[in-house]
Amino acid sequence: MDACIVTGASRGLGRAIAMALASAHATAAAGQDHPLLSGAGMLAMLVARNEADLATTAEAVNEVEGVTARCLAADLATVDEMDALVESMVGAVKDALGNGDGGSLIVVHNAGSLGNLKYVDEFAGEGMVTTISSTMSLNMSSPIALTGALLADGGIASLFTNVVVVNISSLLAVQAFPCWGLYAAHKAGRDMFFKVLATEVEHIKAERGMGLVRVLNYSPGPLDTAMQGEVRTAISDASQQQLFAGMKEEGKLVTVQASANKLMALLAGNAYDDGAHIDYYDELPAGGGSSSG
């Protein structure tokens, strides 16, 4: 059987990706070839803080035949919880696999927060240090620690033949705009972490005896989510506020379903270069993907 881990699965893009992965499993089970999914069952590990919302996602995912959802409620901003979280995941995977071998594990680092949306000279005041620290914990330390734990000797990845790690990135990882300091810093930092991981693919395959190890930075486009609503309300810079409000008014925001489907097409096509930053608006890469990072 295959498995996926989706962080921030309680709402928005995370929920849409969990559901799209379940659908991709169903398509594979119906006989369509997929480079990762065999169709012989899928364990969907859903991670988020909000248990009730997570349960809603799980309910939808469980409706797909052959897919079993496991909810793992955790606050990823509290990096100390990482060990316990990964231990729960290892338990869930071993329960699901029994004595069998796993096929593919797809990990989607989607959880994230905006931090603040202020000019840097407006950062200061009550709570600045807490805001910066918790933003970096959730958005930087947590996906790094989770990736380390998953790939470790005795971690989850070694229970599978293939592992694909997807970092949900952003246009802000590569382009600077005012009032996006905290968000852009962590998105650029995450991209680079996964670019480094991409240079380690051959090492991981050799050390962990794995078939396929793939790494992708996926920038999901301007999504019509609650987070975008926060941006329209909170961002200090007037031109940025107008830009995002205009996109909403003119119907230019992307649905989470469309963006999740694009990610599924990237995974099924399997033709991206490891570590590449690929945007929702980019054409699907053609030909075989390389591990050039």
Q: Whole-number minimum distance, CB 210 to a second copy, in Å?
A: 10
Q: Whole-number minimum distance, CB 228 to a second copy, in Å?
A: 19
Contacts with a second copy by CB under 8 A lie at: 79-80, 82-83, 119-125, 128-129, 132-133, 136-137, 140-141, 144-145, 147-149, 151-153, 155, 157, 173, 176-182, 184-193, 195-200, 203-204, 207-208, 237, 275, 293
Q: Identify which of residues 140 and 164 has a Cβ nearer to a second copy in the complex.
A: 140
Q: Whole-number minimum distance, CB 52 to a second copy, in Å?
A: 28
Handedness of CA 12, 86, 49, 101 (dihedral sign): positive
Q: Identify which of residues 6 and 184 has a Cβ nearer to a second copy in the complex.
A: 184
Q: Residue written as tokens 């606050």?
A: 75
**φ, ψ (nearest 5 deg) of residue 24:** -65, -40
Q: Residue written as tokens 């990882």?
A: 173
Angle in degrees, 0-180, between the axes of helices 142-151 and 181-199, rounded to the nearest 10: 20
Q: Identify which of residues 240 and 257 has a Cβ nearer to a second copy in the complex.
A: 240
Q: Whole-number minimum distance, CB 26 to a second copy, in Å?
A: 32
Q: Identify which of residues 193 and 224 has a Cβ nearer to a second copy in the complex.
A: 193
Q: Identify which of residues 1 and 185 has a Cβ nearer to a second copy in the complex.
A: 185
Conformational region of residue 39, where left means phi above 0, alpha means psi within -120 to 50, and beta covers everything else: left
Q: How many CB atoms lie within 10 A of CB 292?
A: 11
Instruction: Count CA within 13 A, CB hemisphere, residue 145.
Output: 19
